[in-house]
Structure 1
Amino acid sequence: MRSLLVISAGLSQPSSSRRLADMLAEATRAKISARGEGTQIDVIEIRDLAFELATAMTDRTASTPELARAQECIAQADGLIAVTPVFQGSYSGLFKMFFDTLKPHALDDLPTIIAATAGSSRHSLILDYALRPLFNQLHANIVPTGVFQAAEDLGTPEGERIVTRIERSAIQLADQMVAPRDRVSGIAGELEGLGGHSTVRLAKENFIPLGKLLNGYGD
């Protein structure tokens, strides 16, 4: 069973950010299921943590049990989907506050989809100029395909392309969470799940020094 954590920073009810997060989560669940694994999906609505986030940012000694539970979910996750609405051209303040409260290395090597929603497609570059640098700083293992969804694109050809991007990003996340069964493993070794996060282990047992391989050959 793989653990997939969904973090949504949507504020409204219903929330377009939560809707996109659910679409990404279900697509990822389907891709993991196709690899013969089950998926446990947990969702964190950051707006529900607003009070404790403000408390944690101003008083590090204060008790914040709901925030602590959210942080524990991250520690146990095999994959992460993080979705934020766009405010003033970037991610929301609550979204940033949540990740500011994490312990160092909390996201190290954690397979992650980044995604954002907005009213207009003019904000689409948020993925590359705001979200990707943030999660690179946190050392998450970001999948190549991020997803941006604008309200004005719904029901248009661009909206159909967004569905394709959701499928592609889900495949990439599933590939990192579960070793693909339809591909030949590379010489660097196989991808194994260790604890919560995944890591690449080199096949040292079969390593043969170059000098031994060349023994008996002339110059």
Structure 2
Amino acid sequence: MTHRLVVLTAGLSQPSSTRLLADQIAGAVDAEVSARGEAIDIQTYELREYAVDLATMMATAGMPTARLDQLRRAVSAADGLVVVTPVFAASYSGVFKMFFDALDADALNGMPVIIAATAGTPRHSLVLDHALRPLLSHLRAVVMPTGVFAATEDFGGGVDGRELGNRVARAAAELAAHVVSTDGDAVAGFTPSRAGRDPGVDLPAEVTPFMTLLGGHSG
């Protein structure tokens, strides 16, 4: 079976450390899925190339261009998503936020996602939890427990490079386990619904009375 992974990178330069990190994560996911005996088709998109399309949609009461609509459909149809943004003003970039504003409300329901960010200094690492994770959770995506942050120093060799590699590998393993899951096993025991509704909860056929549970306890 071949799964589909979409990688969205919001770097503004070419080449960029943001794209470098995106490619590193995508390669790790490919390796993890292959190790589980399945294949994955990876499509990478540079959001800066859609900046005009996004601005046009915002200025025309939400009517996407044909090119932007094709990207939106690709994202919604994916089995997994990797999103990577540079840090601007202690948050994600403007083009990154514009793209997620352009998605339909249910586009990411149950979508397993790796969040990642790049910056010049490790001081910005909290952007994953105070900006990216809330945004993707609001869209009802399933954000992987391990986020990946890379400062400039992380791209060198030595200890920093190994630590980045470990984070990438851990996040990739989480996403791969989620994407190829066929028996209900998933990250944190959660199996998402991709049908635009909240996942159901299996309840026991009978509920044991509380007093029975307390039987034999007098204090």
- Shorter-chain TM-score bucket reads 0.7 to 0.9
> What residue in structure 1 maps to residue 90 of structure 2?
89
Contact 1:179–1:192, Cα closer than 8 Å, also in 2: no
> What residue in structure 2 maps to residue 169 of structure 1?
171
Give, as a single letter, the amino acid of the residue that structure 2 aligns with 1:7.
L
> What residue in structure 2 maps to residue 21 of structure 1?
22
Question: 1-side partners of 2:193 and 2:64: how far apart?
Answer: 32
Sequence identity (%): 45
Aligned ranges 1:1-219 → 2 under 5 Å:
1-60=2-61, 62=63, 64-153=65-154, 154-179=156-181, 208-209=205-206
> What residue in structure 1 maps to residue 216 of structure 2?
none
Moved over 6 A (4+): 192-195, 199-204
> What residue in structure 2 maps to residue 214 of structure 1?
none
Question: 2-side partners of 1:38 and 1:175: how far apart?
Answer: 13
Question: Which sits farther off after the overlay, 169-178 or 56-65?
Answer: 56-65
Contact 1:116–1:127, Cα closer than 8 Å, also in 2: yes
The alignment partner of 1:5 has SS state of: strand
Residues 106 and 193 of structure 1: CA distance in aligned 2, closer, same or farther (over 3 Å): closer
Aligned CA-pair RMSD: 2.8
The alignment partner of 1:90 has SS state of: coil
Residue 34 of structure 1: CA displacement? 1.2
1:85-112 CA distances to partner (integer Å, 9 max, x unpaired)?
Answer: 1111110000000000101011111000
Residues 185 and 125 of structure 1: CA distance in aligned 2, closer, same or farther (over 3 Å): closer
Residue 46 of structure 1: CA displacement? 0.3
Residues 193 and 26 of structure 1: CA distance in aligned 2, closer, same or farther (over 3 Å): farther
Give, as a single letter, the amino acid of the residue that structure 2 aligns with 1:66.
R
Contact 1:35–1:180, Cα closer than 8 Å, also in 2: no
1:127-155 CA distances to partner (integer Å, 9 max, x unpaired)?
Answer: 01111111111111000000000112322
Give, as a single letter, the amino acid of the residue that structure 1 aligns with 2:161.
G
1:23-68 CA distances to partner (integer Å, 9 max, x unpaired)?
Answer: 1111001111111111011111101101110000111365501110
Give, as a single letter, the amino acid of the residue that structure 1 aligns with 2:175.
L
Residues 108 and 120 of structure 1: CA distance in aligned 2, closer, same or farther (over 3 Å): same
Residues 208 and 89 of structure 1: CA distance in aligned 2, closer, same or farther (over 3 Å): closer
Question: 2-side partners of 1:94 and 1:44: how far apart?
Answer: 13
Give, as a single letter, the amino acid of the residue that structure 1 aligns with 2:162.
E
Residues 83 and 107 of structure 1: CA distance in aligned 2, closer, same or farther (over 3 Å): same
Structure 1 spans left out of the alignment, 5+ residues: 212-219
The alignment partner of 2:32 has SS state of: helix
Give, as a single letter, the amino acid of the residue that structure 1 aligns with 2:170.
R
TM-score in terms of structure 2 length = 0.83
Structure 2 spans left out of the alignment, 5+ residues: 209-219
